[in-house]
Every structure is written in structure tokens, then in C-alpha cells.
Structure 1
Amino acid sequence: MNAEPPVISAPARSRSQVTVKLLLIGILVLLLHVPLNLVNNLRQERSANREAAHARQAVAVLVRGGEDRRVAAPEPDYNPAVAAAEGYRMVERSLKHSVLVLTLVFTAFFLFETLAGLRLHAVHYGLVGAALCLFYLALLALGEVLTPGLAYVGAAVASSLLIVCYSISILHSYGRASSIAVLLAVEHSVLYVVLRMEDYALLAGTAALFAALAGLMFFTRNVDWFAQEAGKEAAP
């Protein structure tokens, strides 16, 4: 007969501690929608201002009688106005997946805290969430001066480096911080693919959710959650 897989025994925590921490994470995800909404409002404002400026320039060209020259002129390979519009659209679509991004990252930190016996304060989660929110602000800012692809890579790298460097200190392990780095890399890569696949965005997003849930089930399959809630060590 095959031996049963060993049950992971983690440091004991009371039922109230686990419940309060989960509630804290849920509330924090909701609170972080405030800065994310500010980023979305800024995106709308910047987009409207750019469209108004573009309209004024078009009217000025027509008034000067330069319509024929404008039409006959060859289109440049890189059009800042078009690139900025695509960048605004990418920010808008990426914000729709912000809940999933925040939840997955916070879940990883919660599992490290629970299974490794670490102590993470609400401030730690809040600072990590702030770094994740900065990704969207950086994506908006870089999208106005770079192509959407380069803007996404730059924003993702900057935000991820900030979180990984901070994780080395609060998780007390380069290995755990490396796991966070891998999670962020996979998360941003999948999100970028979903954003680029407009026709199959729903299908790709659903597949990503299934993969994330399957990974969570796999890594926690041997965890004795009753021991976590009962406040005693799990039986081997």
C-alpha cells in the first residue's frame, strides 16, 4: 500500500488570528481600490486632455490649408498619439484584473506567514499593496512616452523589484523572496498575454484562474488547517 503523504505541521495559531488576518487581507484589497480608482481617474483625465489637444492641432492644420500635405505625408513608424491611446487602453484593461493580482500576491504572503511561522504586520501587507498599485501608475506614466510593450515591461520590473527587495527583509529568506519573484513574473506575463489577446481575453483569463487555483490546491494539499485553527500542532 502507498504511504499517505505527510501532513505539513505549521506553527500553531488560534482560530481568531487566522480569521482576523484573512479579514484584514480582504479589507485591504477593498481599500486599495481607492488609489486604483485615482489612477483610473487620472487616466481618463490625461486621455481627454490628449484628445482635446489632438483635435485642436487638427483644426489648426485645416485652417492653415495643410490638409493635403498632412494626408500625403508618410505615416511615421511610431506615432506618439496612437501609442499613448494604446497605453491608456492597456491601463484601463489591466485595472480590471487588479483584484486578482492583489489577491494572488497577498495569498502568497499569507501562506508564507502561516506555514513558516512568520509574523507579518498589516503595514507589511499595506506596503506590498502600495507597490502593486504603483505598477498601474508607472504603466500610465511610461505609456505616454514609450510603446505599450516597453511601458508594461518597465512598470512590471520596477514594481516587482520593489516588492522582491522588501520581501527579502520581511520573509527572512532569499528563497521565499525568489518564490515571490517567480509569482510576480508569471503573474505579469500572463496578464500581458491576456491584455494582448483581445478576442480570447476571457478564455485566457479563465484558464489563468484555473491554473492559479490548481497551484494553490497543490501547494496546500497536505496542510492541516484544523491544526491552524485549533491552536495546536498538527499530528504527523
Structure 2
Amino acid sequence: MSMPSDPPKPRAPAPPVPRRRWSLKLLQIILLLLLTLAASWPIAGIVEEREARQSVLREEFVRSWGLRQVVRPPTLAVPYRTATGRGPYYLKLAPRELTTQVTLVPEQKKRGLFSATVYTATVEMTGSVSIPFWPNIEQVVGEGSTIDWKKSVVMMQATELGGMTTDDHIVWNGVKLPWRSCAEAIGSSADCKGAVLVANPNMPPDPSSETDIPFKAMVTLRGTGDFRQILDARESTTIIKAPWSTPSFVGTMLPSRQRVGDNGFEAEWFTVNYAKWLIRSTGTLSENVSLQDCESVGVDLLEAVPTYRMINRASKYTILFVVLSFTVYALFELLSTVRIHNVQYGLLGLSMTLFNLLLVSFAEPLGYAAGYGISTALVLTQATLYTAAVTRRALPTVIFGAVLSTLFGFLYVLLSMETYALLAGSVALFVVLSAVMAVTQRIDWRAEES
């Protein structure tokens, strides 16, 4: 008959780390911290590579769909020759008043896991051009110059003309005119630079001064990213709207009125410049559209959550995750009988650095919010279960899980903030340092010196 075996004896808790060894222990932890951060560099490189791939894809969409659009409103271009016969030059008369209605229809174009924001813009411009008094014109063209009003053209410029339809036209002084390319209408490619639409308005040989000629122009354009309009008019009202909840208003001035909501935005600009009856006198009909030295208004269609920018920002907080995790483990050793091996510190650090790789992997197909939630759940579960195995105690495990979950939650809120991110982060670090100082204030750090 076999004798019953003795029940296993409970495992005695490990003695605390002697104070004399803490200097060496601290140096080892710091070395592990540096090695862990070095191991995170390849992951940071992966994040940067994916962000660069997104930028390359956006450039491909720009080439295939369209550049950002910069639109210059309809202008009456009148050819003339100087008294010595030099020319032809072009006198360009700006609208006296101009009202622009721009409706943007944004789309998300995808290729694989990457995407870019493009739009189709319907632009309607209503206004009038005023023929100035002859003395004002003569000051520009010079005395004795000959103006050929019959060969005048109405011109409108954009960055490029992709997206135009057969319905696009201009109504000039009550007459509907089709848009034509500059080279086709003028017959001289040297006079036509950039994407230019022209129409032949059939002006009288000698129009009366101060005559207002009304017009209404319509054009459909495609672009990527942002849309801008150059303010070439004495009185200009511009209204831009789109079903987009995260616009960024750009240009030389902010909107006079704006409404931004979950269903979209509408912004209005109103400007007055009584000196702008004349744009300029040039030797060519058109010039490349440029924002330099021009008043302009517009909007940039920002991503609601810029995935790769948020991932890049999150990756910069890797050191915070590792340092706080190591600090909590070190406090367990200082304040209790728990003993943690250096290898266990290192494995915990690797678990923290893996968060960034999980984040970019899940955020690309699912979006930033879902990717952050899944990555947080995986790393939090792994690190907490590992802490339970290391400490073999419930209280340290609960404390570690609470600290880590609070850190992940706070980081998500911090990354979502723009204006007060620095303030919130600084206050949080101050609170954490204060908590560590309060917890360790009764430790006799001088014991190792005796």
C-alpha cells in the first residue's frame, strides 16, 4: 500500500533586491531601455516607408486625375499696338463685379490599401466688365496707340482643363458662346501659356466708355487636394461649398462667413479693391497661373483622420510606453518582494514597441480609430497576462493593467488634440512624475551607501 505524498509546500516569496545592488540594477534597466528603443527603429522605418508610399500614390492620382485647381476669372483681353507699331500687346480688363459659386464634389480614390482625396468642381461666375474712359486706357497703352476692339477675346484660366463637359460655356452680353482653347482661337501657341479658355465676344469697334457688359461663365474642373480662386475683380464675392466636414480655408484672407458641420461646409468671402479695373498689360495673351503676388481664396479638403500622420505621431511616443512600463516594474521590485529578471524587462519592452507595427498593419485596411483600438487591446492583453505570470500576484497585475490602459486611452485623446496637445502632454508628464515621487518618497536611497 503506497503512502500518500506530502502536499506541495507554498513557494516562498523572493527576497527584495538589496539596496546595494540597485545602482547596478538601474544601469542594466537603462541599457535594456536603449536596446529596446534601438529595436523599435526598424518599425519606425516601416511606418515612414508606408507613409512615403502613400505620398507617391497621391502624386500618381494627381497626374491621372488632376492637379490642385487655381482659377482666374473671366477677363476681357484687348489687343493693341503702340504708336511706333510695336505689338500686338494685350490690355486685360478685370470684372467690375464678380460673384463666384463653387460646388466641390469630393471622392476617395483607392488603390490597394492607399487612398487620395480628389474632387470635381462646378464653377459658376456671374459679373460684368466695365469699359473705362479713354484717358485711363491711354495712360496704360501710351499716347497714339491703336486698340483693336473687334479682336478682343474673353479669357479664363485654370491650372488644367481636365473634367470639362459640353455644357460649359459663357454668356457674354446676352449671347451664349462656347469655350475654345486658346491656341485654337488665337492661332498662336506663343501667346497661350497654361490652360486657357477663350471666347470671341464680337465687341463693337469703339465701345462707349463706362459701358457695363454682363457675363455668366460656367466651367467644370477636376482637381486633387485644394481649390483656389484668384481675386481679379474690383468687387468680388466667392462662395465655396462641399459635403466635407474637415475643410481648411487657405489663401490671403479668411472667409467673411463660414458654416462647418458634419454634413459639409459653406464659406463666403467678400473683397473690394477699387484700383483693380486693370489686371495688367502684357506681350502675350495668357500667362501661367500662379499664386505669387496674387490675392486668392480657397479651401483644402483635409482628411478627417490623417491615418499616416496619426500613426507617425503615435510612433514618437514609443519611449514613453517603454519608460513608464519599466518604471512600474521597478516600483514593484522596490516596494514589494517581487523579483523581476532583466530578460523579463526586455520582453515587456518588445511588447510595447510591437504596438506601432500592429497599429500601421490594422489602420491601413480598417482606419486609424479601429486600428488603434485593436492594437491597444492586443498589446494590453499580452502585457497584462505576462505581468501576471511574472509577479504571480493579483494586485500588481491589476495596477499594471490600469496604468497601461490609462496610458493608451490618454495617448489616443492626446493625438486627437491639435491646439492643446502640448499643454495636455506636459501636464500629464508632470502628474506622472509627481505620482512616482510620492510613491518612492519613503524609500531610503542612502541605504546602499552604508
Flag the 1:205–1:127 CA change in 2: closer, same or farther, 3 A. Answer: same
Distance 2:355 2:336 in 1: 28
Distance 1:88 1:72 in 2: 25
CA RMSD of superposed structures (Å): 2.6
Please list the CA deviations of residues 143-186 of structure 1 after superposition, one character each: whole Å capped at 9, or x if unmatched: 11122122112111111110000011101112211110000011
Give 4+ residue runs of structure 1 displaced > 6 Å after superposition: none
> Does the 8 Å CA contact 1:84/1:143 hold for their aligned counterparts?
no
2:22 aligns with one of 18, 28, 32: 18
Is the counterpart of residue 199 in structure 1 residue 419 in structure 2?
Answer: yes
Distance 2:49 2:371 in 1: 19
Write out aligned runs for 1:134-153 (5 A): 134-153=354-373
> Match of 2:39?
35
Q: Secondary structure at the match of 1:81?
A: strand
> Match of 2:115?
81
Distance 2:406 2:325 in 1: 11
TM superposition shift of 1:132: 0.1
Tell me the TM-score normalised to structure 1 length: 0.79
TM superposition shift of 1:128: 0.2
Q: Secondary structure at the match of 1:193?
A: helix
Q: Secondary structure at the match of 1:144?
A: helix
Identity of aligned pairs, percent?
31
Distance 1:194 1:12 in 2: 37
Q: Secondary structure at the match of 2:366?
A: coil
Flag the 1:87–1:220 CA change in 2: closer, same or farther, 3 A. Answer: same
Structure number with the higher strand fraction is 2
> Match of 2:345?
125
TM superposition shift of 1:12: 5.7
TM superposition shift of 1:223: 2.6
Q: 5+ residue gaps in structure 2?
A: 1-14, 67-102, 117-302
> Match of 1:102?
322
Please list the CA deviations of residues 94-138 of structure 1 after superposition, one character each: whole Å capped at 9, or x if unmatched: 222222221111010011122212221111001000100111111
Distance 2:45 2:304 in 1: 16
The number of residue pairs the alignment matches comes to 211
Is the counterpart of residue 91 in structure 1 residue 324 in structure 2?
Answer: no
Q: 5+ residue gaps in structure 1?
A: 1-9, 63-70, 232-236
Is the counterpart of residue 217 in structure 1 residue 437 in structure 2?
Answer: yes
Distance 1:179 1:155 in 2: 20
Which one-letter code corresponds to 2:421 in the other structure?
Answer: A
Is the counterpart of residue 155 in structure 1 residue 375 in structure 2?
Answer: yes
Which one-letter code corresponds to 1:167 in the other structure?
Answer: T
> Match of 1:234?
none
Tell me the TM-score normalised to structure 2 length: 0.43
Flag the 1:14–1:215 CA change in 2: closer, same or farther, 3 A. Answer: closer
Distance 1:49 1:96 in 2: 20
> Match of 1:113?
333
> Match of 2:236?
none
Flag the 1:59–1:14 CA change in 2: closer, same or farther, 3 A. Answer: same
Please list the CA deviations of residues 42-90 of structure 1 after superposition, one character each: whole Å capped at 9, or x if unmatched: 111112222223332443346xxxxxxxx975546x9962679822212
Structure number with the higher helix fraction is 1
